[in-house]
Copies of this chain bind each other. A is one copy, B any other.
């Protein structure tokens, strides 16, 4: 299991290339919540999401020989872009396996960073099979989306930045897909704010993490139909689950409708674009803070990459 030292080392490594994203606040939101709510705006991160942090930390840590051979990853979302940009910044060849029905805009973004895109069938199984075959054939190093110590340490750097700005924090809300972000952030948050309550958030259809947390073992669900595409993973990773069980205080859910409401609120009140997965933690914080507890709350906005056509539909 990683420690705070792994995260602070990762932070030193990635600091020159990532943005220190702002902690946004809104008077209106604070009044509604009766608490001070800080939104960690990773939608303003490079590639539009936190994924560059872990990807860069991972690829940087490869041996010179591995770097020479190149890397492979599979993703239909922000991890693809994170890997592609990190590889380009480190002069490493990247091959990204993407489902053939991936949004055109995401394929294009991944290619625009210089990665080679290889298409596969839509199932998780096929993605992994194609990536593993490429790994075997060409000797590429695999850059996994979440179940990896370097990835986890990289994502945890989000909380190092939060700790640089805030002296105290009572609650932390983090979205949970495969668990990369929450596991890194939980290790860091418990270090910087020992008494904090750390709360993982999923959408109701994608509540595998909550089920796993309650059952104390990893639960795998059928591919969930949820608006939050970052939560369509079927289970959290092994390393991620271990950290969640040790450091996370609770796992809660919000509905897809609450996610859309929060996206609208963030657009209208705070003038920011947030993708559905990015609105999940703010939605939970909003429901929580509304009790008027007078606490300091941080909710992580994980990203802002949303298709204009889908955004239009939700408005």
Which positions 279-315 of chain A face chain B at CB distance < 8 Å? Answer: 304, 308-309, 311-312, 315
- Are the C-beta atoms of A27 and B48 separated by less than 8 Å? no
Closest to A267 in B: B273
A235 sits at the interface (CB 8 A) = no
A272 sits at the interface (CB 8 A) = yes
**Measured CA separation A308–B267 after assembly (Å):** 9
A44 sits at the interface (CB 8 A) = yes
- Are the C-beta atoms of B308 and A315 separated by less than 8 Å? yes
Closest to A24 in B: B44
Q: In terms of DSSP, what is the predominant structure of the interface of chain A?
A: helix
**Measured CA separation A306–B271 after assembly (Å):** 9
Interface size of A in residues (CB-CB distance below 8 Å): 20
- Are the C-beta atoms of A271 and B268 separated by less than 8 Å? no
Copies of this chain, count: 2
A78 sits at the interface (CB 8 A) = no
- Are the C-beta atoms of A27 and B46 separated by less than 8 Å? yes
Closest to A301 in B: B271
The contact of A43 among B264, B271, B274, B315, by CB within 8 Å, is B271
A303 to chain B, nearest CB (A): 9
Which positions 257-277 of chain A face chain B at CB distance < 8 Å? Answer: 264, 267-268, 270-274
A144 sits at the interface (CB 8 A) = no
Closest to A275 in B: B271
A274-B271 contact in complex given A308-B264, A315-B308, A315-B312, C-beta closer than 8 Å: yes
**Measured CA separation A23–B311 after assembly (Å):** 26
Q: Which residues of B contact A114 (CB under 8 A)?
A: none
The contact of A48 among B264, B271, B308, by CB within 8 Å, is B271
The 8 A-B residue pairs with the shortest CB-CB distance, nearest first, are A271-B304, A312-B315, A271-B273, A43-B271, A308-B315, A267-B273, A312-B312, A271-B272
A–B Cβ pairs within 8 angstroms, 16 of them: A22-B22, A44-B270, A48-B271, A264-B308, A267-B273, A267-B311, A268-B308, A271-B272, A272-B272, A272-B273, A273-B273, A308-B315, A311-B315, A312-B312, A312-B315, A315-B315
Report A's interface with B, CB cutoff 8 A.
Answer: 22, 27, 43-44, 46, 48, 264, 267-268, 270-274, 304, 308-309, 311-312, 315
Could you list 6 further interchain pairs (A-B, Cβ under 8 angstroms) beyond the known A22-B22, A271-B272, A312-B315? Answer: A27-B46, A44-B271, A267-B308, A271-B304, A272-B273, A312-B312
